[in-house]
Amino acid sequence: MKTQVAIIGGGPSGLLLSQLLNRAGVATVILERSSRDHVLSRIRAGVLEAGTVALLREAGVGARMDREGLPHDGCFVSDDDLMIRIDFKALTGSTVTVYGQTEVTTDLYAAQDAMGTTILHEVSDVVIHDADSNAPFVTFTHDGAPARLDCAYVAGCDGFHGVSRKTIPADKRQEFEKVYPFGWLGVLSRTPPANDELIYANSANGFALASMRNAALSRYYVQVPLTDRVEDWSDERFWAKLQSCLPSDVAGTMVTGPSIEKSIAPLRSFVNEPLRWGRLFLVGDAAHIVPPTGAKGLNLAASDVFYLYHGLVDALTKGDATGIDAYSARALARIWKAMRFSWQMTMMLHRFDGEDAYAAQMRKATLLHLSQSETARRDLAENYIGLPY
């Protein structure tokens, strides 16, 4: 097999990059480890920055998002019963869109199928060869048979546990990591959202997030110790914990119901530098992980895709390597700013086991200042709606 860009990973990064490249006349092949059903069964991000929305429209997959996505002009941050509204529209002139990553991935798969793009599912033994040469290639197993894909470039879109990042020799790259001593237990329920805008809640009982997918589908999270397992949490225990963290008037009126999905995600901040090694480029979670507190994971993948897509089109159609040569530094500049915001939101809203009374006071003072300072709210809003590409 031969193509122009070999894409490892058929999640949102790989699919969006492939869709944009194909529309620009660049050929791709996607190699995905899991079945399509498995990829589409994952419940992940829920909030799209305006830049991500624009890129999905440019990729020709914005129609259902524009019909079914929920534009949100603001969100709330709460401290026990103190509700602080962050008015994105008034403070920045921009908004975000609530539209689940599952829907984005579904739309991208449909568009790629319509393009006739080659997407190989359930591949295994993926190895990237000669990335630091002018003739890289990928070997893998598919349908029980060994296979080889020759290409001009490789896009590593295979997430945190993929092979792409590890293809870069350890002495050629640097990892930056912070692991948080807690995770998020997430629940999806066919219940109306507790509030019409998201609530990021700090409380004496820990962190909670009230989010949604649509008017009949709610997405909630509570902070849990890393030692907890999903089976430790009955629906009843989850709802009681969530309601103990949300402002009491919200908790007292919300509708609860059976969970249709329940999972625990650990929180970490991670960046790999650089994002390039020869003709291999790292994109999305293959390159970086953010705690979901700032709703940045999927949105950072989108800006990586934006930079690499333009660079690869220029390199492959005009022989101009300026964009791919600048990709790593350009993407990392935005990645680190989103890392900082996600870390700041995580530190502001979570209780850390064993923290001293001073740390708790710092968190409360930060939230009180947020409630009293438009400047502080504007800083949060500018980062939340997404910094410029």
If one asks whether residue 9 binds ligand FAS (CB under 6 A), the answer comes out as yes
Q: Among 7-15, 192-200, 310-318, 369-377, which window interacts with ligand FAS (CB under 6 A)?
A: 7-15
Q: Which residue is nearest to ligand PHB (CB)?
A: 46
Pairing of strands 208-214, 199-202: antiparallel
- What's the alpha-carbon Rg for the chain, to the nearest Å? 21
Q: By CB under 6 A, is residue 50 in contact with ligand FAS?
A: no
Cβ-based neighbours of 279, under 8 Å, separated by 6 or more: 131, 132, 133, 134, 136, 152, 153, 154
- The structure tokens 């948080």 sit at 180
What does the alpha-carbon distance between residue 56 and residue 103 come to, in Å, rounded to a whole number?
Answer: 12
Nearby residues of 94 by Cβ (< 8 Å), 6 or more positions away:
50, 88, 385, 386
Q: Which of residues 334-363 bind ligand PHB (CB under 6 A)?
A: none
Residues in contact with ligand PHB, shown as a per-residue x/- string from 12 to 51 under the rule CB under 6 A: ---------------------------------xxx----
Choose among 284, 70, 20: nearest CA to 162: 284
Is residue 10 close enough to count as binding ligand FAS by CB under 6 A?
yes
Contact flag: residue 31 with ligand FAS (CB under 6 A): yes
Please tell me the distance from the alpha carbon of residue 220 to that of residue 188, in angstroms, as a whole number.
7
Tell me how many degrees the CA angle 48-50-53 measures, rounded to the nearest 5: 65
Query: What's the rounded Cα separation, in Å, for the pair 168 and 286?
Result: 12
CA 176 to CA 4: how far, in whole Å? Answer: 31
The residues annotated with a catalytic role in the active site are 72, 200, 292, 296, 384
DSSP-assigned beta bridge partners for residue 183:
224, 266
Q: Which of 32, 49, 107, 273 touches ligand FAS (CB under 6 A)?
A: 32
CB proximity list for 380: less than 8 A, separation 6 or greater:
77, 86, 345, 370
Among ligand FAS, ligand PHB, none, what binds residue 13 when CB lies within 5 to 8 Å by partner kind?
ligand FAS
Here's the x/- map for ligand FAS, 101-130, by CB under 6 A: it reads as x---------------------x--x----
Nearer to ligand PHB, 151 or 345 (CB): 345
Query: Which SS3 state, helix, strand or coil, does residue 385 take?
Result: coil
Residue nearer to ligand FAS on the CB measure, 38 or 369: 38
Handedness of CA 164, 167, 168, 173 (dihedral sign): positive
Partner from ligand FAS, ligand PHB, none contacting 51, C-beta within 5 to 8 A by type: none
Closest approach of ligand FAS to the CB of residue 307, in Å: 14
| Segment contacting ligand PHB by CB under 6 A, of 88-96, 242-250, 290-298, 324-332 | 290-298
- The verdict on 292 binding ligand PHB (CB under 6 A) reads yes
Residue numbers 285-344 binding ligand FAS by CB under 6 A: 285, 292, 295-298, 301
Q: How many CB atoms lie within 10 A of CB 325?
A: 13
**Which amino acid, 129?**
H
Name residues contacting ligand PHB, limited to 72-131 (CB under 6 A): none
**Interface residue with ligand PHB, options 295, 331, 380, 385 (CB under 6 A):** 295
Residue 219 binding: pick among ligand FAS, ligand PHB, none (C-beta 5-8 Å cut-off by kind): ligand PHB
Q: Which is nearer to ligand FAS, 208 or 249 (CB)?
A: 208
Indicate which single residue of 156, 284, 291, 323 sits in contact with ligand FAS (rule: CB under 6 A). 284
What DSSP letter does each residue of 243-291 carry, written as one string? HHHS-HHHHHH-----EEEEEEEEEEEEEEE-SEETTEEE-GGGTEE--
User: Is residue 167 a contact point for ligand PHB (CB under 6 A)?
Assistant: no
Judged by the rule CB under 6 A, the positions of this chain that interact with ligand PHB are: 45-47, 198, 209, 211, 219, 292-293, 295
Interacting residue ranges for ligand FAS, rule: CB under 6 A: 8-14, 31-34, 39, 44-46, 101, 123, 126, 157-159, 161-163, 265, 284-285, 292, 295-298, 301
